[in-house]
Structures are given as structure tokens and as C-alpha cells.
Amino acid sequence: MKNTKKILLIAFVALLATTNAHAYRWIFTNWTGSAIILQVELLGSSNPYFVYVAPERTADFNWEVGNPRAGHCLGAIKYLEIKKPTRDPLLTKLMYNKVIVNDKVVDNNRMLEFCNSFGKIYERQIANLRFMPDDLFNKTVANLKKAAGTDFGAKIVGWFADKIKESSCRNRDIAVARDDSGAIGFYTLAN
């Protein structure tokens, strides 16, 4: 029985450590009431990737296995709020020049050029990803620590859990919403 628990514990820790080791996916849902342009930068890459997200819509940064970007972890998130999409000069210019077509960014390099050409008027903000507690994850970790059977085993489980719960090398669902002061925040579960 003890060996079975140890094997299960090792298998679970290995699963947590290797989940989606080859491809990551970040899904952003826009609850701000404004349109936003999201820019994601990957760790180990200097290329920006953009997506336009209308209010109450979802954006999916997903690179399939085999794509050279698939194995990179999430680096910086930058965003640009567009409060009045129908009258916004940057958005109008981006659509006219076919940088955004059918609400999709088709050319990341041209998007970066356009955003930079507008200067401080359209300065992208750096998002601070806020990790919210995940009760199920925390309960699972607590149960695994008990199942480890030793203080050392519990410490190993705790160490892996701490590394994983706020890792940038994980799939994440990220809610983009306003806080009580009206500022835009980026929220995800710590799991």
C-alpha cells in the first residue's frame, strides 16, 4: 500500500511538472467594456504577437505542437484600450491598411509599426498578471502532502506546487476586467 501511494505521488508530481511541455495556450476573455489590443511577448523571443479583442469576446494565443513558438513560455503582456472603436483613429487606420481584417491581426510587424507611430497617445500598458487562489488546487496539494507519508515527501510536493501555480510555462485562462477603481486588470487562477 505504501509503495502504491509513493508511485501515485511520483506520477502526479511528474504530471504537474510536464503538463503541456511542448505547447502552451493562453486564452484571454475581455470583460472591460472596451475593445483592447493585446500584445504577447514570449520568453526567449523578441517578436511581439498581437490580437484585437472586442468587448465580451475571447482571444486565443495558441501555437500547435511543431510550431517553433509552441514551446516558449509567456513573457510580457501589453495592452492598449480602445474606448470608442467606431471612431478611433488608430483602429480605423489599422483596418483601412488591412492590418486588422475581420477583427483579426494579420500582420504583427505592421501592427507594431502602427502602434509605435502614434506615440504616447497609444502607448501600450504592461499588464500585471494577478494570480487568484484556486481552492481545488490547494486542497489537492494538501491531500498529496498528507499522502506523501513523510515530511520530506510533503516538502517535495509543496515545492513542485509552488513552482507550478504561478509558472509562466503553463496554459492559462486569463480574465481581463476592471477592478473597483475602473483600472484594467489581468486575472488567472494560481494552479
The helix/strand/coil state of 90 is helix
* Pair 91, 99: CB distance under 8 Å: no
Beta strands in 15-171 (DSSP E): 25-30, 35-42, 48-53, 58-62, 74-82, 100-101, 104-105, 125-126, 129-133
pLDDT tens column, 143-189: 999 998 888 989 999 999 998 888 888 888 999 999 999 999 999 99
Residues 6+ apart with CB under 8 A from 95: 101
Question: pLDDT at position 21, please?
Answer: 47
Residues 6+ apart with CB under 8 A from 51: 28, 37, 38, 40, 59, 60, 61, 104, 105
- In this prediction the pTM is 0.77
pLDDT tens column, 98-115: 888 877 888 888 888 888
Is residue 86 domain-resident? Answer: yes
The pLDDT-based confidence of 29 (bands split at 50, 70, 90) is: very high
Quote the domain boundaries for residue 40.
Answer: 25-131
Is residue 18 domain-resident? Answer: no
Task: Give the rounded distance of the alpha carbon of 39 from its chain centre.
Answer: 11
- Total domains present in the chain: 1
Is residue 67 domain-resident? Answer: yes
Is residue 124 domain-resident? Answer: yes
Is residue 71 domain-resident? Answer: yes
